[in-house]
Structures are given as C-alpha cells and as structure tokens.
C-alpha cells in the first residue's frame, strides 16, 4: 500500500471517529412530553378550567360526597408514545382512586387517546364539611436515547379537588326583590310583606346573593327583611347556603349570626330555586340561652331583578 492510500485510510478513520464523538456529545433532541387535558361528567361534580397557554390549562374540581366521579384524561399529544399512567390522591383518607384498566391498556403505545379513572369519596368521613386534596395524574412515554436505552419523559397534572356537599349552580347571583313574605315575630305577632315595607319605610326589600363557589352561596340577609326591619339591633344574619340541585339549605358551620359573648342565634334555612324565583323558609333558635316562646320565623319569595 503506497503512502497516498495510507493517508486516505487514516483520514477516513479520523473523520469517522469525529462523527461518532459529535453524535455522542450532541444527541438528537428528545420528543415533547405528553400533553394532557381532563374532564368529567355527572351532576355531582364541577371542573373549573383556566387556560394558561395553547398547550396547558389549570383545573380545579368540586366533587360531592354523594358518590363516585369518573374523570377522563385526554392525551392530546404524546410523540414518545404512552407507556404508563398513574393517579394518586394526596390524602388517601379522603377517598380512593380506581383506574379503568381497559382504557389504560387501549391507550398504551399510542400518541393520543383517553383513559379514565374513578374517584370515590370516603363514606366514613365524620361530616360533609369542605375538604381539599390533590389528584396527581402522571403519564410517562416510552422514548429511547441515541443508544436505544429507555429515556422517558413524564407529564404530571395536579388536579386540586374539593370535597363539598353540593355543586349546583342553578341559583343566579345578583340582586333579588322580596315579592311575597309572611311570618311571625318573637312571641307570635304576625307580619306580611306590606307590613315589612310600611314599618321599614321602603318601597322594596332587596336581598343580594353572591356565589362563593359551585354549590355555595352567600345571602346578605336570610329572613326576607324581617331582621333589618324589626331587629336591627341584633347581628345581621348574612349566611352561606348550600344548593343541591334546586334545594337550598343552610351551610353547616356557617349558619350562626352573632359572636361571643353576645347572643348567638342559629338560623335554619330551607328553600327551592324555581327559575327566576326563590322560595325560602327560615327559623332560628338561641344557642346561648332559652329560645323565646314562639320565636320569629317566616317564608318569603325572591324574584330576580
């Protein structure tokens, strides 16, 4: 072999080695991690969605204690192909997660598709007060590196979840007019809507309703005008109410007007939402002393302005 042949052979060897070194130190860019969306169906849940950008959303879920909720996780794009999924509750005492195995199996190895899981609130919790946890969803792909070794990417979606009594949103927030009212004062003396207007010196009695979250509302006065007109020196019963379907009830832990060491009164609120009107029945009892004989109570109707 002459000198020219040896030179060319050496040059080819050096060039090949440089290419291998360059490839090792500059591996191809990895594919994007999976992109996820989440949804659910059923009247016992509500998911609020806040877009962050064209690829990402923030979510917040409200789930009733009344029963399980099935969530659907949509893999919008997983160029590295789905390899595994997992869903875990951050507070296991609050409920359990069950994966729909058939949907997971059908999604494995694909770039897009859905899988489902069910969250079941713990029926053994002592009450139905508001509780918070996270449902942590992870989807891992099956990417390989330039040497053929596993080099997966994982996307984690954290779903803040609130366990609540009710999630209905049939009650429209805003200002309502009291269009019918009747009841009695402490001791039994009766009143009507005309009495409320005349004794209060007003042409119209108004009640404001605000939505605190799905299923939970605040009424700025729950006696339909009776308390402001006849008991203005007492604590105003501005209270939270739950709405389950079209049924209103006092929110546990938020139905007491007044503060220690003053008089404490617990108001019981029940009602129904009927389109643009709301029918309410109310009563109260003293918590720190004897309740008066024939205590004040009544009914009224609210009409949306």
Q: For residues 122 and 127, give the distance between their C-alpha atoms in angstroms, rounded to a whole number.
A: 11
Query: Mean pLDDT, to the nearest integer, of 68-75?
Result: 98
- Percent of the chain surpassing pLDDT 70: 90
Structure token digits, residue 236: 């105003």
> Cβ(282)–Cβ(224) under 8 Å?
yes
Query: Mean pLDDT, to the nearest integer, of 29-57?
Result: 92
pLDDT score recorded for residue 252: 79
Helix (H, G, I), strand (E, B) or coil at 232: coil
- Domain 35-164 and domain 174-304 have a common topology: no
Q: Domain boundaries in the chain?
A: 35-164, 174-304
Question: 174-304 adopts what CATH topology?
Answer: Lipocalin (2.40.128)
* 247-250 and 256-257 strand pairing: unpaired
Residue in the structure block whose two tokens are 């989440």: 38
pLDDT score recorded for residue 2: 61
Please provide the average confidence, as pLDDT, over all residues in the chain: 91
pLDDT of 53 over the 90 cut: no
Query: Mean pLDDT, to the nearest integer, of 284-303?
Result: 95
Q: For residues 48 and 211, give the distance between their C-alpha atoms in angstroms, rounded to a whole number.
A: 14
Q: How confident is the model at residue 22 (pLDDT cuts 50, 70, 90)?
A: very low
Which tens digit of pLDDT belongs to each residue from 179-199? Answer: 999 999 999 999 999 999 999
> Cβ(39)–Cβ(19) under 8 Å?
no
pLDDT score recorded for residue 48: 96
Q: For residues 159 and 47, give the distance between their C-alpha atoms in angstroms, rounded to a whole number.
A: 10
pLDDT of 153 over the 60 cut: yes
Residue 142: burial class (beta carbons within 10 Å; 0-12, 13-18, 19+)? middle
Supply the CATH classification number for the domain 35-164.
Answer: 2.60.40
pLDDT score recorded for residue 15: 47
Please tell me the number of Cα atoms within 13 Å of 187 on its side-chain side. Answer: 2
pLDDT of 30 over the 90 cut: no
pLDDT score recorded for residue 118: 98
Structure token digits, residue 253: 């832990």
Rounded to the nearest 5°, which phi and psi values hold at 246?
-115, 20
pLDDT of 165 over the 70 cut: yes
Query: Mean pLDDT, to the nearest integer, of 217-246?
Result: 95
* 277-286 and 297-304 strand pairing: antiparallel
Q: For residues 215 and 167, give the distance between their C-alpha atoms in angstroms, rounded to a whole number.
A: 4
Which tens digit of pLDDT belongs to each residue from 241-283? Answer: 999 999 999 987 766 777 777 788 999 999 999 988 999 999 9
Q: How confident is the model at residue 17 (pLDDT cuts 50, 70, 90)?
A: very low
Residue in the structure block whose two tokens are 């053929």: 148
Residues in the chain: 305
Query: Mean pLDDT, to the nearest integer, of 159-168?
Result: 97
Q: For residues 139 and 75, give the distance between their C-alpha atoms in angstroms, rounded to a whole number.
A: 9
Which tens digit of pLDDT belongs to each residue from 111-136? Answer: 999 999 999 999 999 999 999 999 99
DSSP annotation string for 93-125: GGEEEEE-HHHHHHHTT-SSEEEEEEEEE-TTS
pLDDT score recorded for residue 3: 57
pLDDT score recorded for residue 250: 92
| Closest C-alpha to 230, from 187, 269, 261 | 187
Q: For residues 301 and 252, give the distance between their C-alpha atoms in angstroms, rounded to a whole number.
A: 23
| Closest C-alpha to 235, from 218, 256, 251 | 256
The pTM (predicted TM-score) of the whole model is 0.85
Q: For residues 23 and 28, give the distance between their C-alpha atoms in angstroms, rounded to a whole number.
A: 8
Please give the distance of CA 158 from its chain centroid, rounded to a whole number. 13
Residue 224: burial class (beta carbons within 10 Å; 0-12, 13-18, 19+)? buried
């Amino acid at each position: 072999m002459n000198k020219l042949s040896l030179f060319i052979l050496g040059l080819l060897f050096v060039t090949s080695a440089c290419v291998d070194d360059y490839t090792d130190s500059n591996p191809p860019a990895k594919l994007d991690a999976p992109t996820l969306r989440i949804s659910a169906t059923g009247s016992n849940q509500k998911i609020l969605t806040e877009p962050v950008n064209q690829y990402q959303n923030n979510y917040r879920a409200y789930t009733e204690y009344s029963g399980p909720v099935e969530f659907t996780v949509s893999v919008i794009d997983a160029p590295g192909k789905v390899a595994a999924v997992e869903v875990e509750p951050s507070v296991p005492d609050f409920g359990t997660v069950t994966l729909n195995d058939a949907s997971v199996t059908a999604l494995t190895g694909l770039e897009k598709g859905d899988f489902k899981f069910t969250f079941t609130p713990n029926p053994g919790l002592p009450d139905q007060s508001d509780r918070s946890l996270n449902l942590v969803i992870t989807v891992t792909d099956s990417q390989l590196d330039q040497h053929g070794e596993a080099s997966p990417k994982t996307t984690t979606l954290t779903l803040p979840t609130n366990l609540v009594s009710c999630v209905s949103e049939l009650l429209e927030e805003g200002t309502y007019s009291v269009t019918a009212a009747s009841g009695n004062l402490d001791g039994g003396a009766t009143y009507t809507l005309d009495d409320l207007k005349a004794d209060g010196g007003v042409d119209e009695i108004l009640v404001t309703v605000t939505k605190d979250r799905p299923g939970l509302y605040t009424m700025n006065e729950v006696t339909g005008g009776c308390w402001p007109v006849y008991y203005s020196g007492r604590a105003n019963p501005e209270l939270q109410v739950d709405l389950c379907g079209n049924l209103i009830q006092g929110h546990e832990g938020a139905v007491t007007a007044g503060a220690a060491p003053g008089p404490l009164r617990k108001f019981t609120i029940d009602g129904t939402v009927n389109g643009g009107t709301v029918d309410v029945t109310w009563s109260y009892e003293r918590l720190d002393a004897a309740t008066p004989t024939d205590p004040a109570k009544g009914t009224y109707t609210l009409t949306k302005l």
